[in-house]
Structure 1
Amino acid sequence: MVEGNTDRKSVFPLNYLSFHYVSLAFPLLLPAFMQFQSFHIHPLPSSDSGGSKYVGARPDRRHSSIKQKLRTYSHKVKLAVSLTGGMEQGLLDQENFSCSICLDLLSNPVTTSCGHSYCFTCIKTHWDEEDQRGIHSCPQCRRTFKPRPDLCKNTILAASVEQLRKTGLQAAPADHRYTGHEDVTCDLCTGKKIKAIKSCLVCLASYCEKHLQSHYDEPQLRNHRLVELFKNLQENICTRYSTVSAAAERTERQRELKERRGNIQQRIQDREKDVKLLHQEVEAINHSADKTVEDSEKIFTELIRLLQKRSSDVKQQIRSQQETEVSRVKDVQEKLEQEISELKRKDAELEQLSHTEDHNQFLLNYPSLPALRESTHSSSINIRPLRHFEDVTAAVSELRDKLQDVLRDSWTNISLMVTEVDVLLSEPESKSRADFLKYSCEITMDPNTANNYLLLSEGNRKATVMDEPQSYSSHPDRFTDYCQILSKESLTGRCYWEVQWSGRVYVVVAYKNIIREGGDSIFGSNDQSWALDFEQNMYIFWHNNIKTSISGPVSSRVGVYLDHRAGILSFYSVSESMTLIHRVQTRFTEPLHAGVCFVSETGFSAEFCELK
């Protein structure tokens, strides 16, 4: 019961209804009144004199629950009022009791928690289709439910619908609302299909007037984009944006496509020009190379002819001198042989006279003997030491050595000129170790340059400082005053190598003709070498005895990148990543050699790493 003098007619206008219509609405009104009564506030006498307490009041934490229940039963009350009001006018609208899916009177009605009612079969079928998504929604307001709610029959609503059926007030829908052959049907109608009047580009569905109403009533649906009807809506919606028609989207994309094609075609034209230019450059390179080879062959042929002529001249001179000397010797030999013959004849006469027995005859014949003539030659022949033409051989050998020196120096310059023929600009320096490894080269140490206190191992890739000198043969290329060594290979073009070290080590590049002894022979103290020194927690770069200190974490593995033609020398710390330590930009005039130098501490080592 409602406390006080509250007039029930002020809540519901039942005094205007006939008893017949009240009987139809009563099943809806009674539960609403009962629930409303349970939430009314009852003033009760207070135990103290300060006023009264309210038994029906709820704490704040239950306020929202009360509001929700009030809204639910208010909906039922409104439904009853709608029913009774429509009955009073004799124009009862069956849509208030129709399923929004099949658009027929509710059959075995159920009500979702959002307040919308459907036939049990209709909503079950709808949710069965949504099982794969795992989320179920209200067909009208699109509110989602997870997990799938249990469906229970709304007995009050079922009784009201049954009363409507008995009164015979149900009217058939107008024929013009149903779809024809060419019409677009409502996607939510499951029974008789109603004509759709709008399409939603968010829902990707078309709706009749009834099912479209939720897009105007429900806040979460009001921002959906409604457009005029689309046939084959799914096929005409842009799959990327789902907001405009595929035709409109294609027009925009077609414009972008045309612009992109224009850019691509322009790039193609530019690249074709580049290809043509490169083709011409290839022809020019081939022509220049062929002519240079031809000219070089002529020059070397001339050199060979010159050497052959000089060889022939030397041969002719030797033969001429040979003939002259032999002739002189033979003349002397002939005269000596004549003198020998005469002497032998005189000796025979004297021997015969010595055998004469008659003393008078001996004395008579002795004075008649002719006197012995003086020899035209000295008593001995002076002959030079047995060298003959060996001095000529020595002179030719000296010429050969000088030519070899000239050819070696000239060949170095020629090789450098050949490698500097580079039509294209140098590529930007690599950033990753994988890029550097494309230029990796195998480097070994030259034993002829090793200081006597360095022990070579690992196929001459590793050098270690020792206590005792090693048994190396004497060689003009050997470093005598410092524990340092150069590579056997000369370096031109683009090269990359890595050095693993322990102790204190200089990683170096130098020219082949660097001095080998004296204070200026240490790497970095002259203009013929570049050295990176690792000292404690820092680096020091040396060139021409100028010191540059470099801060940064010291790594026991260092990568060296050389671009000889571009004059670039870079040192990198190698660990999990490549970190630039120092870069030099200069002009190299000769091929370079890699090298290492040690502070003379036993056990210090450095190795040219094998790179894969």
Structure 2
Amino acid sequence: MAQAAVQMDREKLSCSVCLDLLKDPVTIPCGHSYCMSCIKNFWVDKRTYSCPQCRRSFTPKPVLMKNTMFADLVEELKNAGLADAPPHHSYAEPADVSCDFCVGRKMKAFKSCLACMASYCELHLQPHFNVAPLKKHKLVEATSKLQENICPRHDEVMKIFCRTDRQCICYLCSMDEHKGHNTVSAAAERAERQTELGVDRRNIQQRIQDREKDVKVMLQRLEAIGASADEAVSDSERIFKDLICLIEKKSSEVKQKIRSQQKTDESRVTEVQEKMQQEISELRRKDTELEKLSSTEDHLHFLSSYSSWSHLSETTASSHDFTVQYYEKMTAAVSEARDKLKALLSDKWPKITLTGPEKKVQRAAEDNVFPLNAFFLDDIDEAMSVKDEAPRRFNPQTRNIRSQRPPAAAHFTPNTFHNRQHEKIRRFFFQ
């Protein structure tokens, strides 16, 4: 009772702002008391001065004077051994386990007693440390589940474990419906299960370690995938730039060849044209002579002149003997190369899957690289070699590359594939 009275006195002498014992207590006109520093801070930068509890306003600002009576009471309370009030966080919140023996505002429970079936704050727990019979009680962390330890049928503490039915029971249950069952004390069953729990924890911890190692491996694989993907993008960009340069180079060569062939054909046609002009002039001259001869009245002169006149020479080859076959074949070859390149670079290329064996991935990848090496220039080179319907056969070395199968690799990675791909294209196109 004395402790309860002290608790009530402490609450009366507590500041409602800071919830601690009053320090330099002052009483404002409405009768409520506060720490001097608390009420000053509460009124800072305010136009009206009111009580934090009753909200009564004061005009002008009250003069704060120390309440000596409250100050003496606080000092006596401190001298009684309760120097400071418990901090406000020691009071029980709705979610906390509260002390079963506190009067008024309850404190947070510190321990629960399995013998008393009650929870205690630090103050009310002291008898369990000082009174001999209470020292034997089993104290546990404060819990709100003490009622679960009570047998709902006999209202007794359940201290026995029935292994037959695998449930906790009280001693009356062991003599009633659980009579003859395999029973042990709850403590003994707990000790055995505690050993099993230790084994389970070790197994779980081992699995955690194994999985952590696996996670590290996965992280390393993610880094490797990212590095390989970056390198593949870089290599692909470089390869396509090489292809663009190659196409531009071949375009320039084709243009040069066409213009060269154009000059040759134009020169030949011009030469024939000049011969035809000479032939026309000669024919017109002879036609004039024949016209004059036909109009003469001297028969002897006509016969003599006509007999000595030379017959017409063979006609120069006409223009229709020259064709545009070379240019048509060149255009067709370039178009065919374009169509093949478009087909090769369609959405179905490259047909590479990472679900199959690495050797199949290697073969599928290289099968899609070699057409670029094989067909892209063959038809154009063939068309460029055609001269006056006497086409030159394909370069045997180039033709062999088309049917050549690259050697199978012993090991394949994305990096080695892109390096090998780039080297093959570079070696064929630029050597």
Establish whether TM, by shorter chain, passes 0.5.
no
User: Is the radius of gyration larger for structure 1 or structure 2?
Assistant: 1
Which has the larger strand fraction? 1
Which has the larger helix fraction? 2
Report the TM-score, using the length of structure 1 for normalisation: 0.25
